[in-house]
Structure 1
Amino acid sequence: MIPNRYRWAAPAILAIALTACGLHRIPPPSQRIAPAVAPEQASATPPAQSAQTLADGLLAAARARHAEAAAAWPDWPERGETERLLTAAERAARTGDDGRMRDLATQALQRADEALDTAYLLRADVELQKLQTYTGLSDEQLERMRVAELALARRQGRSAWELLNALNRELAQANKRYVVAAGDSLWVISGRPEIYGNPYLWPLVWEANLDVIRDPNRLRAGQQLRIRLHPTIEQVVRAIETARSYRRTTVHIGEVRETTP
């Protein structure tokens, strides 16, 4: 049930009305209070000190951005020139030439910003190429990929990289559990629609469970298997090639039988 949206307003309106009445009521002369003496206000920051603080902040920001850019892209082409500008800005600050210091620090900050943006664009491009190798993405994951591609097209490097990096880590780590049942085989398991829907991908199940399945021809009922949800295209191709090279394409619990799918 939606509450009456005006119910809360009644007390508030009453309070405002009472306050307004109190403010407009003029007290008799006997009740009037002499105005208090206004306290002395603290003197404002001298303009020279304020300008100096801003200049120091600009130089500190340029140093910090340079360090961030150097960490993200150690061999960026204009790193040496940016360091030269910073050194000159620091020298100007020591000699009291604030105008020159601000100019040099601004140039250094701009160069570092450009380098950092480029570094994230390069990183985002690498992440996008990696992302395009995964299979089995959901509609929601595909939408996140589209948003990241849009950010990359707009040259929003940091945003694109953060989105793509997070999605890649999610895909690489995503898996689910499958409990082996009587009559199961890697061939049967892999062919299930909720797994891979392709029996020739049984080597993917085997490779993900080498610590449990020493021999792909032997499974035990009750075994818990790890299923990778998003194998890469390369892993899928390799799995199919491996499956085709095996003579035993079907594996049953209990007695091993060689059959042809």
Structure 2
Amino acid sequence: MRLMLPAKYLSISLLAVGLIAGCATQPKQEPTGPSAAVTQALDAASAAMDNAKALDWIWRDTEDFYAAAEKAAKEGDDATAIKLANKAREQAEDAVNQYYLEKAKPMLTELRRYSLSGDQKQRMDTGATAITQGEGKRAYDILSALLAEVRSANIQYTVVRGDSLWGISSRPEIYNNPYQWPLIYKANSDKIHDADLIYPGQAFSIDRNPSAAEVDAAVNHAKTRGTWSIGEVEASDRDYLGGLRVR
């Protein structure tokens, strides 16, 4: 004899079986991948490393930190991944900053050898302060632009037989005015013992863009220098150099 279940019990039984079957056939959840914070940290580190590599100035263990950060991210250890990625980024940024500091320092040394205008001196001092404060890129940007400007206004002149400071100054490509010769003398006082005696082969730095005050002082000295003799350093020349002792 077959036992018949009431319809309501049969419906409940079928529903239960359906729920169980449904749970058993749910798709398996796949890993979601790195969080947005991890991805952001890795991307920032990668960009900083690219900058350092472009300068060929990346520290040896920076890439090791980045590789370890990627590994931690794959393992789902977000805190470690972010910490290591930030370490790689900071190292890469420090390396780039150091690169520009090393480039800026000799620029400052060279600029200090030139006769600069008031504005140029102020810019040079700003660049020097940036170096002192460890701001490599800022120092480099300021000093490289200033040095390019100064170099374009300065030329090198090599003395040939028969030259004199008077004659060099009168050349059209120099000052086109012989009375400005003291500018050459002052800019090269470390090479010139006597303003009346220069030698073939000497290389002089010529500032083609002196200030109006510098030109006035030079012309005034040339016109009021007084008597002179070859082989002696006149007192008026020493005064013009500001008391600087010439060898």
TM-score (norm 2): 0.52
Aligned runs of 1:102-141 on 2, under 5 Å? 102-134=82-114, 136-141=115-120
Q: Does 1:57 align with 2:8?
A: no
- What percent identity do the matched residue pairs reach? 28
In 1: Cα distance, 2:98 partner to 2:42 partner:
22
Query: What count of residue pairs does the alignment treat as equivalent?
Result: 158
Q: Is the 8 A contact 2:38 2:82 kept in 1?
A: yes
Structure 2 unaligned spans of 5+: 1-31, 156-165, 201-228, 231-247
Structure 1 unaligned spans of 5+: 1-48, 177-183, 202-230, 247-259
In 1: Cα distance, 2:178 partner to 2:167 partner:
15
Tell me how far 1:129 sits from its aligned partner. 1.3
Letter in 2 for 1:143: Q
Q: Is the 8 A contact 2:169 2:179 kept in 1?
A: no
In 2: Cα distance, 1:66 partner to 1:157 partner:
17
The change in CA–CA distance for 1:121 and 1:193 in structure 2 (over 3 A counts) is farther
Q: Which has the larger Rg? A: 2
Partner in structure 2 of residue 143 of structure 1:
122
Q: Does 1:170 align with 2:149?
A: yes
The one-character-per-residue Cα deviations of 1:164-223 (angstroms, maximum 9, x if unpaired) are 1110011111269xxxxxxx943545594885535769xxxxxxxxxxxxxxxxxxxxxx
In 2: Cα distance, 1:61 partner to 1:168 partner:
33
The change in CA–CA distance for 1:187 and 1:121 in structure 2 (over 3 A counts) is closer
In 1: Cα distance, 2:143 partner to 2:184 partner:
31
Partner in structure 2 of residue 152 of structure 1:
131
Other structure's SS at 2:71 match = helix
Other structure's SS at 1:245 match = coil
CA RMSD of aligned residues (A): 3.8
In 1: Cα distance, 2:80 partner to 2:170 partner:
75
